[in-house]
Structure 1
Amino acid sequence: MTKKIVSDLDLKGKTVLVRADFNVPMKDGEITDDNRIVQALPTIKYIAEQGGKVVLFSHLGKVKEESDKASLSLKPVAADLSKKLSKEVVFVPTTRGEQLETAIKGLDEGEILLVENTRFEDVDGKKESKNDSELGEYWASLGDLFVNDAFGTAHREHASNVGIASHLETAAGYLMDKEIKYIGGVVENPDKPVVAILGGAKVSDKIGVITNLLKIADKVLIGGGMSYTFFKAQGKEIGQSLLEEDKVDFAKDLLDRAGDQIVLPVDCKVAKEFSNDAEISVVSVDDIPADQEAMDVGPKTVELFKEQLQGAHTVVWNGPMGVFELSNFAKGTIGICEAIAELKDANTIIGGGDSAAAAISLGYADDFSHISTGGGASLEYLEGKTLPGVESISDK
């Protein structure tokens, strides 16, 4: 797949609409994790340096009714961008109308403007989320070119990505291009051997990913809460551990078909309660007490997974190995982080979501080839699905 990227466009003097992903966590109006803003900066800076007039679009949270607007304004993002770029980012507190149109017309080359939360358009009929044709056409009319740099919403067909793209020449921003190369590369043309590590709570969240990765990967290592449904399928006692009863047959069928291509944990940490103060034991997966819950993989599993990673040319990881939010149950996730980070000759990719948050919070962000900014989008890409936001970017 060869898509146009921002550097393929003639930007000077053009009004360039940019769909960024500023859907960042906030508390009391303060941004608590700015990773997505940081990742958007190279594209914004490049357009401004080339003499483009930058008009930024993004959503923030889910806007269901008028009362949601007060806490979901992008104004704090504009202030943060201004600091990071060391120049004023004009904020327009509306998504359409004369105020917005006048502000955009008043931009000089290299200046930057941020439009209010695109999902404010969802209060009256979900115009953004349902890709209202009139809204997409209106937004497109405000600019000359479109750059989509929001991989986090690439699996959604919205007015601010697909809608605008259907009316303007469209290129990928640098972040989107990176996501296509790394996440798309795993699916379309991976450098083998490939090892996939999947964790998280539910098998149901990863059915498509597991099925598709078994066609691609040499080994699929399964940890986290989802692994206990597989143990149940093997007839093991799993105590109070997470279980999706309706996915046991699926897990059994997968194990029968995949054989030793799937590698499961061999030990785990168990406790009677979901707490850092709980008494913890490390047991074999064959010896989980009936009255206890497994909440992390054990040290023998970390060593086993490390062995499986040796010699891999491509590693993709999605989902933590345990309840990493509690420090006493984070060691499995930390161990996997360290093991992957040590693979200096491999292409190492984290597919967004909780595993990305874990790697960043644990200080391993610079040790991976790529950490995706899109949780749901990454999963759907790894499933082999076509992403509307990627599909709508113009081909070279």
Structure 2
Amino acid sequence: MPSFPTIDDIPADSCVLVRLDLNSPIEAGEPQDNRRFERHAVTVGELADAGHRVVCLAHQGRPGRDDFTSLSGHAKILADHVDRDVAFVPDTHGEAATEAIDALAPGEVLLVENTRMCDDELPEASPETKADTEYVRTLAAHVDAYVNDAYSAAHRKHASLVGFPLALPAYAGRVMEAEYEANTAIGRKSFDGPVTMVIGGTKATDVIGVMDALEGTVDRFLLGGVAGELFLRAAGHPVGYDLDGMDLFDDQWETTHETVERVLDERGDSIHLASDLAYEGADGDRAEVRVEAIDEKTDAYLDVGSETVADYEPRITDADAVFVKGALGVFEDERFADGTVGVLEAIAEADCFSVVGGGDTSRAIGMYGLDEDDFSHVSIAGGAYIRALTGEPLPAVELLQTDD
């Protein structure tokens, strides 16, 4: 099986370039603390404690978007989690950046400016092309090793992800190790009992592709969210389409309905759909309706109902493994969190291997007081998690792997 050289293998007293994923919500111009800082702080802290000089790379947003900002605020949050100073230089690879790197003492940490403020970073290209950019060549000349800890961005062919492994000895950080191990488990591990997958969220195209790819691997799928409504539509119920002001269902139905109908026809026994749905009642409170009683869609359905949660729970508790991709409802609104939280609580209490994937879904764990330790792994990856589940390659991961 492919494996990684890890940060344990880095020669002593090295200057190490570490790619993190600190991409965060931006509110009033400031980055918000989240699970990514906490996770990556483990890698950064271990490297600094070992006496390495640590140079951190990360991105925030994309050019032209509101969340495309400097990383100065990220340095402060990272410092709190690492429990040591994290210096910041507002330069990606110019003289200010290289001088700051050369001035580092053992155990010191530096964060350089947003990688996406460098013209060489974003256009997707081959690793060989990225390794030959001025950005990679310049920084590589001032460090001894490269560590990729940004599993959640590993599906991208950007310079900071695929260029440096060809220019420097390359290693996996702790987040990279943990995410790879958990997110590829569905294809690598053998489970004695049933494998259950909870499917939800708003990006039905992604999760329907996962369902199609995991034929023969997953014994039962429990559906909610947009994907759940689209499957209900394919089953003949008058849901799964847009009302006025919506833009969630119709376009996705157009691109996925043939796959949805085929998967439902071929593997209907393994697919479990909501028996009831929740919506906002006339008084503003949560209301529920049985799917069989819906003659016409007049309300936006924002969660699966209580009967559905009760139906899904035993299919979780008797499973040997449970994988989650996407929330079953709009859990950010407490009125419509019952489906997502009910399923997560059932997983937390079950004696099974469990992976909760996707940043939005994993956020519900903290919001509703669940203990992250009750799950085998809580992933901070989105697109990379989808690719891992479907067996698609992750370019930045492949460049770190060796064959034992």
Indicate conservation of the 8 Å contact 2:165/2:399, yes or no.
yes
Query: Which residue matches 2:326?
Result: 319
Query: Which residue matches 2:245?
Result: none
How does the TM-score come out when normalised to structure 2? 0.89
- Closer/same/farther in 2, CA of residues 328 and 7 from structure 1, 3 Å limit: same
Distance 1:28 1:282 in 2: 37
Report the more deviating stretch, 232-241 or 202-211.
232-241
Query: Which residue matches 1:288?
Result: 294
Q: Deviations over 1:218-262 (max 9, x none)?
A: 111111122121111111222866634323332221111113111
Query: Which residue matches 1:265?
Result: 274
Identity of aligned residues (%): 36
Query: Which residue matches 2:259?
Result: 250
SS at match of 1:114: strand
Query: Which residue matches 1:39?
Result: 39
Match of 1:92 among 84, 89, 92: 89
Indicate conservation of the 8 Å contact 1:270/1:288, yes or no.
no
- Closer/same/farther in 2, CA of residues 199 and 44 from structure 1, 3 Å limit: same
Q: How many residues align?
A: 386
Deviation at 1:11, TM superposition (A): 3.5
Deviation at 1:64, TM superposition (A): 3.6
Distance 1:357 1:214 in 2: 28
Indicate conservation of the 8 Å contact 2:152/2:384, yes or no.
yes
Q: Deviations over 1:3-55 (max 9, x none)?
A: 22434423421111100111122212433232111100111111112221111
Where do residues 372-391 of structure 1 align in structure 2 (5 Å cutoff)?
372-391=379-398
Deviation at 1:203, TM superposition (A): 2.4
Amino acid at match of 1:209: V
SS at match of 1:214: coil
Indicate conservation of the 8 Å contact 1:5/1:177, yes or no.
no
Distance 2:160 2:354 in 1: 31
- Closer/same/farther in 2, CA of residues 262 and 348 from structure 1, 3 Å limit: same
SS at match of 1:24: coil
Amino acid at match of 1:136: V
Match of 2:80 among 74, 79, 83: 83
Q: Deviations over 1:353-386 (max 9, x none)?
A: 3211222222223321111111111111111101
- Closer/same/farther in 2, CA of residues 165 and 207 from structure 1, 3 Å limit: same
Where do residues 209-358 of structure 1 align in structure 2 (5 Å cutoff)?
209-238=210-239, 243-244=249-250, 245-246=253-254, 247-271=256-280, 278=284, 280-290=286-296, 291-343=298-350, 345-358=351-364
Where do residues 366-377 of structure 1 align in structure 2 (5 Å cutoff)?
366-377=373-384
Gaps of 5+ in 2: 243-247
How does the TM-score come out when normalised to structure 1? 0.91
Query: Which residue matches 2:161?
Result: 161
Distance 2:8 2:107 in 1: 18
Deviation at 1:145, TM superposition (A): 0.9
Indicate conservation of the 8 Å contact 1:239/1:288, yes or no.
no
SS at match of 1:248: helix
Indicate conservation of the 8 Å contact 1:196/1:213, yes or no.
no
Q: Deviations over 1:73-107 (max 9, x none)?
A: 11111122223333221211100122111111111
- Closer/same/farther in 2, CA of residues 256 and 394 from structure 1, 3 Å limit: closer
- Closer/same/farther in 2, CA of residues 191 and 137 from structure 1, 3 Å limit: farther
